Amino acid sequence: MRRPAPDGFSEYMTRLITYIGLAAGLILLIGLIVWQGLLDVWGLLAASGWQLLLLPLIWAPNFLPAGAAWRLFFPAQPRPSLLQSVAGIWMGRAVNNLLPVASIGGEVAKARLAFHWGSAPTAATASVIVDKTVQAIAVIIWGLIGAACLLFLSLDDRLAYLALGGFAVLALCVGGFFLVQRAGMLAFLAHLGENLLRIESLNGVAVSARETDAEIMGIYRRRRPLLTAVVLRVLTLAIQTGEVWLGCLLLGYPIGVLEAVLLKSLTFTLSDIAFIVPNAYGVQEGAFILIGALVGLSSGQALALSLALRIRDLLLDPAGLLALNHIETRRWLG
């Protein structure tokens, strides 16, 4: 077997790990469906019929605050429009969910789009790096809100304290992620993401690690936009909670708002931690079964809910990937 070239070794290993994660996730997902009974799960979904198509409609508005948050990290001029920012978030999400890129490729795609829309290469690269950091901070905050709901509802204090400990560890990881941004580590991640996507580096424009680091530190010094972005990112997760609440209602086992916040926050956090598994296949379903039991959902109901929430993936992600491919093709053709 021919060994990969040294400069392609990181790409090779990342792809290998991601494919292993994908295979493990799909095996887990199929196992959970077989365990609960395919016909039983399908019966729960079919009973709600076309009304489940309402779930993507109540989820999709979260793109708006997400796009507004990313847009804050660009200089005043030039800056992508709000519509362009929302489109970038949509297409980046599609890349991360559908391609084996370990949640890196979507950020590279966003940076390329920003460059295509007129941003400087360093500004585009810095924006997605800071945006990824802000997303991680928002996940921690949202997870803490879920743990607080768990304590308030007196459902499982031990699990709540374990969750708080896990979020503390996650906070340390985010702190470490911030520190490596000052050491040029993100230049390596950007290069890796470009290789995974098989694309040229911002149309051949070299991005200086030193200039990008300076741009990143400049963004962090602007405290008000940074804080606003964190709030907007937490708002996106709050909007997504409406999908969980409505999903339970449509499937015939309504829950309260606090239970929906608890269910969304803890399952989302667990799924987000497993970033190496594309779209958290199997991980999301297992998380819903585990956390759903705390709010009175049977394992079959929780699994059906998780699968119902994936309707948005079927409707939004392939379209996002096709839109990105169309833009890249037009750019390549000149």
What is the residue whose two structure tokens read 């499937």? 251
| Among 90, 95, 251, CA closest to 243 | 251
Q: pLDDT (tens digit, 9 = 90+) per residue, 131-143?
A: 988 998 898 888 8
- Cβ neighbour number for residue 75 with a 10 Å cutoff: 14
DSSP string of 205-272, one letter each residue: ----HHHHHHHHHHHHH-HHHHHHHHHHHHHHHHHHHHHHHHHHHHTT----HHHHHHHHHHHHHHHH
């991980």: which residue's tokens? Answer: 283
Mean predicted confidence (pLDDT) in 203-207: 47
Any idea how long the chain is? 334
Please tell me what DSSP assigns to residue 295.
G
Token pair belonging to 19: 């494919």
Determine the pLDDT at residue 58: 93
Residue % of the chain over a pLDDT of 90:
27
Contact 265, 145 (CB under 8 A): yes
Count other Cβ atoms within 10 Å, centred on residue 39.
9
pTM: 0.81
Between 26 and 261, residue with greater pLDDT: 261
Q: What's the confidence (pLDDT) of residue 60?
A: 93
Q: How far is CA 80 from CA 55, 108, 188, 308, in A?
A: 29, 16, 25, 33
Mean pLDDT, the chain, as a whole number? Answer: 80
Q: What is the pLDDT of residue 56?
A: 92
